[in-house]
Amino acid sequence: MMSLQILGDIMDGLPDRRGLREFLVIFAVGCIVTACAYGIATNAAGDDPVTEIIMILGLSAAAFFGPVMAFRQRARDKDHADARVRAHHSHLNEVLQNMSQGFCRFDADQRLIVANDQFARLYALHPDRVKPGMNLREILQARIANGLYAGGDPGAYIQKRLACVAAGEESLDIHELPDGRVLSLSHKPLPDGGWLTTHEDITELQKVEKQIAYMENFDPVTDLPNRRQFRNDIASRLESRTGAEKFAILHLDIDHFKSVNDTLGHAAGDKLLRLVGERLRKCLKAGDMVARLGGDEFAVVQASDNQPHQATVLASLICAVMKELVELDGNQIEAEVSIGIAVAPCDGLDPDQLIKNADLALHQAKGDGNGIYRFFESGLDARMAGRRELELDMRKAIGEDQFKVHYQPLVDAKTEEICGFEALLRWEHPEHGLMSPAEFIPLAEESGLIVALGKFVIRQACEEAMNWPDPVRVAVNVSAAQFKNANIVGSVMHALSRSGLAAQRLELEITESVLLADSDATLEMLHMLRNLGVRIAMDDFGTGYSSLSYLRSFPFDKIKLDGSFVRDLTNDADADEVLAIVRAVASLGNSLGMTTTAEGVETQEQLNMVRQEGYSEIQGYYYSRPLPAEQIAERYFPPEAMAVGGAA
Ligand code: C2E
Ligand code: CA
Ligand code: CA
């Protein structure tokens, strides 16, 4: 049995010719050694045949089994090596077949040595069309036949591969296949003149990359270029500018965007942004560019060299186009914009500087009114810095008690009795002295500080009014911002309950701007206030452009004719027309059952005229300037008297 196994091992150990040759050589040497041993044994054994036979057998066995054992070991080693190679091949194959990329290895004669299944799958090739030994051209032909080839002329493609191999250069190509997929092809030359190719489907990756590139450069709401692309565009225009060539930057901002967003919702806000973007696009000429910078801000680069003339023309056109009402979910909305303009190169040679200067001009435009444009001027920067400083001062001032409320009497036109006082805010600025609200209220509204200031005034006014006899009222001015951002109803209720003032003695004066967005929420708040018993007055009547329609939207208790009409009654060349307006407002108010107040009455003549026209209440320097609370008490409410006898 044992010898059979050994023989089997020997046979296993003899798979190749070289092994057989070695075996025969060792066996021959064994035979020679055996022959020698036989000689030695014959001599050594002398005449003893048994010893002789034993020695012969021993030496022969040694000579024969030595090589046999060596070959047996050799056979085992070979087995192990083969198993290792097989395992290695199988691992390699596993790796190849499980690669997500298609893989091919070609030799120097452009013949395929190996390809994985993924390669065939990528190009929908039958395995028969991708067999080792096939040349590259055949495989390309198969792909062309499948309609899944985008490498151009196959001959040129092959030449390119060979050239890369010759130059020892790797290459990477992107092929868009006719079926819409995008493949990346990487070629790596090998030292034997062949090469490796990997083919990867990067369709999804490309989509994501395109998406990212889009998001980096475009605004998804309006599809317009975003701030980044806008800035890059300015930078490249500045770079490629020759000589004294000019271009303009228009920075735009939708005037009442926030109220649209707040009242009609974000979807309507987005719609408005798209509409504005569309209108702007229509105003542009070739070479111009419009971008959305974020929020309600847009910007235009105007390529025209004829500056500032062309920027003026474009800004006027945009202002005019934007004045047309926009229909949003059944609501008529204004899309008016304010515009700030900077011209390159005079207003800056750097994109950021130009953008900043256009922005400063925009702030100026917004400060001067809505729906207008302003050019950058060199002093704007300093002025803006001044505003910022004032804003910081204002934040401090609230905590440091620098704000004071003054009161101006409202007098009954017939009896000349005091009906109430209007609370007017003053700022005792440590450096600038007593500041009028016209200087800081707009800034407070812009910065949101008006909310805190407004609460302060309502509280102070209610507390102060408690020192006056019932039914003398106090009137408080309320900004639009207080209706948008603050719980005005809560503030009023709090001030009333804290002071103990009857709601009927508090009057809130609002201007058209509060109703501008015509929002249901604002009207609801006004109704809630009125239901509490608080009176609501329409202030500065006649200065807006659609006062009558606003007057109809809410049952106001009072209309206050703007002071400018009273002034113009005696000053203006068109005194007759002014008188007609003054008269119309009085009869309108009276017919609607509202109190009518004439503001800004300074002279006896003016007083006579407004009395004649039927105004029920008078306010103005004729009776008194606004005064601090202590002086009001001293002057009007000494314990003994309450009636006002004449001019202050
Ligand atoms: P307004 O509500 O129209 O207040 C009347 C303004 O006319 C006051 O200016 C008052 O001093 C002034 N005035 C009164 N009588 C005469 C007169 O006979 N001749 C002239 N030339 N002017 C007269 P003031 O106090 O400078 O306030 C300006 C504006 O600031 C106010 O106009 C009001 O809109 C706003 N304001 C004042 N206080 C507050 C406040 O507490 N909150 C808010 N939101 N705004 C306020
Ligand atoms: Ca007022
Ligand atoms: Ca007024």
Q: How far is 22 from 290, CA to CA, in rounded Å?
A: 88
Domain count within the chain: 4
Name the β-bridge partners of 596. 559
Question: What is the residue with the minimal CA distance to atom 3 of ligand 1?
Answer: 540
Evaluate whether residue 257 is within a structural domain.
yes
**Beta strands 535-541; 506-510: pairing state:** parallel
Secondary structure element (H or E) that encloses residue 11, with its range: helix 2-12
Boundary (domain end) residue, out of 206, 229, 264? 206
CB burial of residue 151 (10 Å; 0-12, 13-18, 19+): middle
- Spatial CA neighbour of 132 closest among 157, 107, 158, 102: 107
Residue 359 CB partners (closer than 8 Å, separation 6+): 251, 340
What is d(CA 291, CA 299) in angstroms, rounded to the nearest whole number? 5
Residues 185, 232: one domain?
no
Q: What is the pLDDT of residue 91?
A: 84
pLDDT in tens, 551-593: 888 999 999 999 999 999 988 678 888 999 999 999 999 999 9
Q: Is ligand 1 within 6 A of the CB of residue 409?
A: no
Residues 228 and 334 in one domain: yes
Same domain? For 473 and 506 the reply is yes
408 lines ligand 1 (CB under 6 A): yes
Q: What's the gap in Å between 599 CA and the centre of ligand 3?
A: 7
Question: How many CB atoms are closer than 10 A to CB 53?
Answer: 12
Is 626's C-beta closer than 6 angstroms to any atom of ligand 1? yes
Q: Is the CB of 475 under 6 A from ligand 1?
A: no
Is 213 a domain residue?
A: no
**CA-closest residue to ligand 1 atom 15:** 620
User: For residue 600, how far is its CA from the centre of ligand 3 (angstroms)?
Assistant: 8
Question: Are both 483 and 347 inside the same structural domain?
Answer: no
CA angle 580/583/585 to nearest 5° reads 110
Residue 324 lies in a domain: yes
Residue 506: inside a domain, yes or no? yes
The closest-lying atom of ligand 1 relative to the alpha carbon of residue 540 is 3
How far apart, in whole angstroms, are the C-alpha atoms of residue 425 and residue 433? 14
- Ligand 1: nearest atom to the Cα of 457: 41
Tens-place pLDDT, residues 606-640: 999 999 999 999 999 999 999 999 999 999 998 76
Helices 136-146, 154-167: axis angle to 10 degrees equals 140
Which residue puts its alpha carbon closest to atom 34 of ligand 1?
Answer: 477
Atom of ligand 1 nearest to the CA of 436: 26
Residue 82 burial by Cβ neighbours in a 10 Å radius (0-12, 13-18, 19+): exposed
The alpha carbon of 521 and the centre of ligand 2 are apart by a number of angstroms equal to 22
Q: Please indicate whether residue 222, judged by its CB atom, sits closer than 6 Å to ligand 1.
A: no
For 327, the token pair is 């229909």
* Sheet of strand 195-201: strand arrangement: 112-115, 102-106, 195-201, 182-189, 171-176
Ligand 1: which of 403, 422, 477 to mutate, judged by most atoms within 8 Å of the beta carbon? 477
> Looking at residue 623, what is its pLDDT?
97
Same domain, yes or no: 307 and 442 = no
CA distance 107 to 93: 18
Question: Cα(563) to centroid of ligand 3, in Å?
Answer: 7
* d(CA 566, ligand 1 centre) in Å: 15
Residue 515 lies in a domain: yes
Assigned domain for 628 exists: yes
Residues 196, 92 share a domain = no
Query: Is residue 329 one of the residues assigned to a domain?
Result: yes
Domain of 492, CATH number, reads 3.20.20.450
pLDDT (tens digit per residue) in 421-456? 999 999 999 998 999 999 899 889 888 899 999 999
Q: What are phi and psi for residue 163, nearest 5 degrees?
A: -65, -40
Q: How far is the CA of 97 from the centre of ligand 2 (A)?
A: 83
310 in contact with ligand 1, CB cutoff 6 A: no
Tokens, residue 196: 């490796």
Residue 425, helix vs strand vs coil:
strand
Under a CB-based contact definition with an 8 Å cutoff, are residues 141 and 160 in contact?
no
Nearest CA to ligand 1 atom 2: 477
Query: 81 and 10, same structural domain?
Result: yes
Q: Is 539 exposed, middle or buried (0-12, 13-18, 19+ CB in 10 A)?
A: buried
pLDDT at residue 518, as a whole number:
56
- Ligand 1 binding pocket includes 477 (Cβ within 6 Å): yes
C-alpha span between 481 and 646 (Å, rounded): 38
Pocket of ligand 1 contains residue 563 by CB under 6 Å: yes
Q: Please say which residue of 206, 235, 267 terminates a domain.
A: 206
Q: Output the CA 83–ligand 3 centroid distance in Å.
A: 101
In 3D, which of 457, 475, 501 has the Cα closest to residue 408? Answer: 475
Supply 451's token pair. 């909310």
Separation of alpha carbons 558 and 596, rounded Å:
6
User: Do residues 123 and 166 share a domain?
Assistant: yes
Same domain for 91 and 110, yes or no, is: no
For residue 420, which ligand has an atom nearest its CA? 2
Ligand minimally distant from the alpha carbon of residue 562 = 3
Supply the CATH number for residue 258's domain.
3.30.70.270
Alpha carbon separation from 301 to 116, 234, 348 (Å, rounded): 54, 8, 14
What one-letter code names the amino acid at 585? V
Probe target for ligand 1 pocket from 408, 424, 439, 445, with the most ligand atoms within 8 Å of CB: 424
Per the domain annotation, does 454 fall within a domain?
yes
Asked whether 268 and 347 are in contact (CB, 8 A), the reply is no
The pair of structure tokens assigned to 355 is 């953008």
Q: Is the CB of 437 under 6 A from ligand 1?
A: yes
Which is the closest atom of ligand 1 to the Cα of 406? 25
DSSP per-residue codes, 210-259:
HHHHHHHHB-TTT--B-HHHHHHHHHHHHHH--TT--EEEEEEEETTHHH
Per the structure, the complete domain to which residue 197 belongs is given by 102-206
3-state SS, 139-197, equals: HHHHHHHHCCCCCCCHHHHHHHHHHHHHHCCCEEEEEECCCCCEEEEEEEECCCCCEEE
Q: What is the CATH number of the domain that holds 188?
A: 3.30.450.20
Pair 447, 526 in one domain:
yes
Contact 144, 153 (CB under 8 A): no
- For residue 522 and ligand 1, the question of a CB distance below 6 A is answered with no
Which residues of the chain, if any, have pLDDT below 70?
Answer: 1-20, 22-23, 26-27, 29-31, 33-41, 44-47, 56, 59-60, 62-64, 66-68, 71, 485-486, 517-518, 544-547, 572, 640-648
Residues in Cβ contact with 515 at an 8 Å cutoff, skipping those fewer than 6 apart: 522, 523, 550, 553, 554
pLDDT of amino acid 244: 79
Which residue's C-alpha comes closest to atom 43 of ligand 1? 477
pLDDT of the residue at 648: 37
Nearest ligand, CA of residue 541? 3
Asked if 506 and 489 touch (Cβ cutoff 8 Å), the reply is: no
Q: Which atom of ligand 1 is nearest to the CA of 509?
A: 2
Any atom of ligand 1 within 6 Å of the Cβ of 348: no
Establish whether residue 621 lines the binding site of ligand 1, counting it when its CB lies within 6 angstroms of any ligand atom.
yes
Task: Look at residues 429, 414, 489 and name the one whose alpha carbon lies nearest to residue 455.
Answer: 489
CA-nearest residue for atom 45, ligand 1, is: 477
68 three-state secondary structure: helix
| Calpha distance 378→381 (Å, rounded) | 7
The token duo for 380 is: 């704007």
The pair of three-digit structure tokens given for residue 198, joined into one six-digit string: 């990997």
- Tell me how far the alpha carbon of residue 408 lies from the centroid of ligand 2, in angstroms: 10
Number of Cβ atoms within 10 Å of the Cβ of 549: 12
Contacts 24+ apart (CB under 8 A), 534-537: 534/492, 534/503, 534/504, 534/506, 534/507, 534/508, 535/473, 535/504, 535/506, 535/507, 535/508, 536/507, 536/508, 536/510, 537/475, 537/507, 537/508, 537/509, 537/510, 537/595, 537/597
Nearest CA to ligand 1 atom 19: 600
HSE, CB side, 13 Å, CA atoms: give it for residue 95.
7
DSSP state of 129: G
Ligand 1 in contact with 424 (CB < 6 A)? yes
Examine the domain organization and report whether 91 and 146 are in the same domain: no
Domain boundary among 206, 226, 243: 206
User: What's the mean per-residue pLDDT of the chain?
Assistant: 87
Residues 49, 66 within the same domain: yes
Q: Whose CA is nearest to atom 37 of ligand 1?
A: 424
For residue 443 and ligand 1, the question of a CB distance below 6 A is answered with: no
